[in-house]
Amino acid sequence: MALAACSRSGSPVTGRIVAAGPPAAILIWTVARDKLAGWPRKPSPKVLAMLGAGADLPEIGAVSQSGGRAANLEAIAALKPELIVDYGDVTPQFREIAERTEAKLGVPYRLVDGQLEASASAFAHVAKLIGAPRGIELANAVRPLLRQWRALPGGPSFYYARGIDGLETGFAGSLATGVLEGAHWTNVATGGESLKRVSREAVAAWDPEVIVTLDRKFAESAASDPFWRQRRGGAKRRLLLLPDLPFGWIDRPPSVNRLVGCAWLVGGDARADATAHALYGAQARLGMAKAQWIP
């Protein structure tokens, strides 16, 4: 569950909001982009062009330990935010960061559960927190999608290949692989947690049916590489390239952008496209992204 919070007066937040990391930035952007104080890690010009807004927002760094340049707390204070929001794992580590930062800045800092199954609750919670009706609309739209996603039949075993060499992966239970695991695909990467580097020997031993990636350069190099394409016994391993613009369909970052991946699993490219447009708003210029099974 998300943690309840409002401004110090108990009324919804009306001022600027600092996103503690990239996942929180996308959550706030989809619900009330006019309240986002800045980007923890500013998207590329190509992504900003697709979003249709946000180029004028500064890069402020990450308050939480969620990748990118660390925020300068004095610079954060100078923005005079009314609230800091983080979205992701609600663990003792992140609770400690929240408590320490709130004490130092005197600004309320709230954690929102980033589990994919809780996406509707996250939208509704942030909507109430900052007085944004759009969050309620998104919550209502997401609930049936999540029910359909969870009701999908079992899928293949998979390995999620990150990076140019494919040897970083999300272990079973990580936020990065929740889209596929929630649809009952089996993550072969076990024996670890979160995101970690692995060896080629480990991938060979796991012998997944499908390699899933968001990285086009990796997909192009792996397409003709027997290590990635041949299973034990000689069967050809499938290779799935999922879009990563404006944000990844299953990860990068692990935020509400993952709902596009859920939609693709439920209803293919058309459902994914409709969900992306619902998330990013009428001003977005997304084009028609498509998942690609590499021959």
In the chain, DSSP finds a helix count (H) and a strand count (E) of 11, 10
The string of DSSP codes covering 181-202 is: HHTTPEE---SS-SEEE--HHH
Evaluate whether residue 5 is within a structural domain.
Answer: no
96, 183: one domain:
no
- Domain stops at, among 132, 149, 166: 149
Q: Do the beta carbons of residue 289 and residue 272 sit within 8 Å? A: yes
Asked if residues 229 and 237 have their Cβ atoms less than 8 Å apart, the reply is: yes
95: left (phi over 0), alpha (psi -120 to 50) or beta: alpha
**N-to-C CA span, the chain:** 42
User: What residues of the chain score a pLDDT lower than 70?
Assistant: 1-11, 65-68
Residues 247 and 253: their CA atoms lie apart, in Å, by 7
pLDDT the model gives residue 67: 61
Segment holding 88, helix H or strand E: strand 83-88
**pLDDT value at position 2?**
38
- Say what the pLDDT of residue 245 is: 96
DSSP letter at 257 equals T
pTM of the model: 0.94
Q: Does 42 map to a domain?
A: yes
| Statement to judge: residues 207 and 165 lie in one domain | yes
Residue 6 falls within a domain, yes or no? no
Is residue 277 in some structural domain? yes
The Cα angle at residue 290 between residues 285 and 291, in degrees rounded to 5: 140
- For 108-125, what is each residue's pLDDT tens digit? 999 999 999 999 999 999
How many domains does one find in the chain?
A: 2
In a domain, 9, yes or no: no
> What CATH number did the domain enclosing 280 receive?
3.40.50.1980
Domain that holds residue 194: 157-294
In-domain check, residue 58: yes
189 with 109, same domain? no
H or E element in which residue 213 lies: strand 210-213
Phi-psi region of 60 (alpha: psi -120 to 50; beta: other; left: phi over 0): alpha
What is the per-residue pLDDT across 45-93, written as a single tens digit (0 to 9) for each?
Answer: 999 999 999 999 999 999 996 666 899 999 999 999 999 999 999 999 9
Out of 149, 167, 194, pick the residue that ends a domain.
149
Last residue of a domain, one of 105, 124, 149: 149
Residue 11 lies in a domain: no
